[in-house]
Amino acid sequence: MLTELHIQNFAIIDDLTVHFEPGLNVLTGETGAGKSIVIDAIGAVLGLRVGVEDVRAGAEAATIEATFELGPGNPALRLLEEWGIPAEEGVVLISRDIAASGRSRCRINGRTATVTMLREVGEYLVDIHGQHEHQSLLKIPQHLTLLDASGPTALQKARKRVSSLYLQWQERQRQLAALQVDEREKARRIDLLIYQVEEIKAAQLRPGEEEELRKERTRLANVERLLEATTKAYALLYEVPEAGGRSALDLAAEAQTELEDIVRFDARLAPLRESLETALSALQEAAYELRAYRDGLEFNPYRLEEIEQRLALIESLKRKYGATIEEVLAYGEQAQRELDELTHREERGEELEQEIAELEGKLGPAAAELSQLRRKAAQKLEREVVRHLQDLRMERVSFQVSFEWVPNAEGVPVAGERYALTGEGLDRVEFLLSPNPGEPLRPLAKIASGGEISRIMLALKSVLMAADRLPTLIFDEIDVGIGGATARAVGQKLAALGQDKQVICVTHLPQIASLAHAHFRIQKGTRRGRAYVEVTPLDEEQRIWELGRMLGGEEVTPTTLQHARELLQARAKSS
C-alpha cells in the first residue's frame, strides 16, 4: 500500500507530506483546495504525463516521493528484481523530479530509472480512477477489455492464442496481397532485378578484395622507389658499397672474430660473442630476403591498369548497391531472393493460400472457444454487477452483456459462415442497462445519468478488483451526481473494498467521508503572498467539525454538528 507521499513545489503545493493508512482514506476540503492535485502528484510519481506548468512558479523543480509497503508475491517486487533493484522488506521508494526546464529525473529505491519504468511498476501498485474516467464506460470498445479482465485464466490464455494466430494470419494475408501486384509492374521489377543480380554476379567480388587491390596498386605505383631502396639496403648489408668499403656483414664478422680471440681471457664476453653470432645470422637472413624481394620486383603497367579498372568497377557497384563489398553482395542475395519469389509467384501464392487456410482452420475454432469463455464470464459478470448495483441503491436494475459477430466475406470461417475478426477475436461486446422494471435494455450511453455511470463503474471495480492484486485503489470524485442514501451506499461499498485493499478517495459527500478509516482535510491558504496547500489528518472531534462543514456549507451549526456525530456513530455501529 501507499504509506507516505511527499510533494514539493508541485502546482500550488510548496511542501507537503501525507501519511496514508490501510483501509478507506478520504480527502475532503473546499472546492479548489487542492484535493485533485494530490491525486495528480501520485499519478506523476507513477509515470503519468506532466509538464513544466506543473512546477510551482519560481521553483527550479518539483519533487514527488511515494513510499509503498508491499506484501510477498506482489508482481512489482518481481519486476524490480528483474531490473536488479533491491526492495528490502517489500519497501519501495519512488521519486520523480520535474525540472522547470522540462526534464525529469526518476529513481526507484535510490537507483536511476526512466519514466517508462515508473509506469511499468506503477501498473502493479495503484489503480487511479480519475474524475472523468467513468466516461470510458460510454466507449463501447472498453467494454470488451473490462469483460476480459473479469474472466478466468483460461479466458486470458485463449485470448493470447487468438491474438497470436491472428497476427500470423494477417501477415500471410499481407504477403499474399503483395504478390498480387500489377503484371506490368511485376515484369518491370523482374527486368531490373535480373540486371542487378547479373551485374553483381559478373563482378565476382570477394570480401576484402578492395583492400588487397589498393595495397597492390600502391606497390606497383612505387616499384622504382622500392627497387632503389632495397638494392641499396642489400648492398649495405652484403656487398661492398664502394671501392675500399666494407659491408655490414663483413664488419659484424670481423667483430665476432675479435671476440673469439679474447673470450678465453674473460668468460664474461661469452654472451656478447653469442649475441654477435645471432646478429650475424639475422643480418645474413635479412640480406637474402632483401635480395629475393628485389629480384621479384617488376614494373608491370598492364597489371596496374587492370587494378585501376577493377577498383573503378567496385566503386561503381558500391555507389549503386552498398557502401562496402559485403553490402553489395548482401544486396545481390536479397535481389536474388526477390527475383526467385517473383518468378515463382504462382507457387508462392499457392503456398500462402494453403498456409492461410490452415491458420483459418485453427483461428476460427480458437476464436469461437474464446467467445464461449467470454459468454460464461459475461453471465458471472452480469450477476455480480447487478448484486453490487443493488447494494448501491439501484435495486431493480437489469444489466446485460450483449454479443455480436459481424458477417464479413473476408473474415474467418466459423460454423460455415465467415465473420469479421480482430486480434481480440470475433466478439463485438456492449454493456446494456435497464435502470427500472419494464424498460428495455439499452446502451449505457443512451440512458445512464452521471450518478448511474459512477455507480456502474464502482460496481465493475468491485467485481474486477476481487481478482486483482493491486494493493491501492484511488477514486477521484466518484460520487458525482449522487447524494442521500445512495451516497451512503457508495461509501459502504468503498469501505468494503477497504477491507481487502487500501482505498484513497476524494469526496464532497459527508456520507462517504464518515465511513473512512482515515480522514484528511485539505486546505488552501496564503503565506507571504503565495498560495499553499496543507493536509491535516483529523481526529474524532476534527472529523465532526469537517463533516459538519460538508453538511452545512459555509455555516456550521449545532444541528449540522449533531448530524455529523450521528454519521460517525452509525459508522461505528455498522463496523
Angle ∠(352,353,356) on CA atoms, nearest 5: 85
Residue 181 pLDDT exceeds 70: no
Q: All 3 cell numbers of residue 536?
A: 491535516
H-type alpha helices, 46-152: 75-82, 115-122, 140-149
Task: Tell me if 382 sits within 8 A of 403, measured CB to CB.
Answer: no
Closest alpha carbon to 494 in 465, 521, 452: 465
Predicted confidence at residue 137, as pLDDT, reads 66
Q: How confident is the model at residue 95 (pLDDT cuts 50, 70, 90)?
A: very high
Higher pLDDT, 552 or 39: 39
pLDDT digits (tens, 9 = 90+) for 518-573: 999 998 888 887 888 889 999 999 999 999 998 887 678 888 889 889 888 877 66
pLDDT digits (tens, 9 = 90+) for 393-403: 888 889 999 99
Closest alpha carbon to 360 in 162, 158, 169: 169
Mean pLDDT of the chain: 87
Integer Cα distance of 412 and 39 in angstroms: 46
Secondary structure (3-state) at 478: coil
Predicted confidence at residue 178, as pLDDT, reads 76
Count CB-CB contacts under 10 A for residue 400.
17
> What percentage of the chain exceeds 70 in pLDDT?
94
Q: In the sheet where 442-443 sits, what is the strand order? A: 398-404, 428-434, 442-443
- Note the CATH number of domain 1-125+470-538: 3.40.50.300
Integer Cα distance of 391 and 154 in angstroms: 30
Predicted confidence at residue 543, as pLDDT, reads 93
Query: Minimum mean pLDDT among 244-248, 334-338, 555-559: which range?
Result: 244-248
pLDDT digits (tens, 9 = 90+) for 144-170: 988 998 889 999 999 999 999 999 999
Predicted confidence at residue 313, as pLDDT, reads 92
Q: Where do the domains of the chain lie? A: 1-125+470-538
Q: Crossing angle, helix 345-391 and helix 140-149, to 10 degrees?
A: 80
Predicted confidence at residue 230, as pLDDT, reads 85
Higher pLDDT, 513 or 450: 513
Q: How confident is the model at residue 275 (pLDDT cuts 50, 70, 90)?
A: confident
Q: All 3 cell numbers of residue 129?
A: 480512477
Integer Cα distance of 378 and 386 in angstroms: 12
Burial environment of residue 496 by CB neighbours within 10 A (0 to 12, 13 to 18, 19 or more): middle
Radius of gyration of the chain (CA): 42
Q: How confident is the model at residue 291 (pLDDT cuts 50, 70, 90)?
A: confident
What is the secondary structure of 362-374 as a DSSP string? HHHHHHHHHHHHH
Q: How confident is the model at residue 273 (pLDDT cuts 50, 70, 90)?
A: confident
363 φ, ψ to 5°? -70, -40
pLDDT digits (tens, 9 = 90+) for 192-216: 999 999 999 999 999 999 999 998 8
Q: What is the mean pLDDT of residues 229-257?
A: 77
Higher pLDDT, 409 or 102: 409
Higher pLDDT, 373 or 135: 373
Residue 59 pLDDT exceeds 70: yes
Q: Which residues sit opposite 64 in a β-bridge?
A: 7, 96
Q: All 3 cell numbers of residue 6?
A: 511527499
Closest alpha carbon to 537 in 21, 23, 10: 21
Secondary structure (3-state) at 298: coil
Task: Tell me if 42 sits within 8 A of 128, measured CB to CB.
Answer: yes
Angle ∠(446,448,449) on CA atoms, nearest 5: 120
Collect all residues with Cβ–Cβ distance below 8 Å to 452 and sequence separation of at least 6: 394, 433, 435, 481
Higher pLDDT, 245 or 27: 27
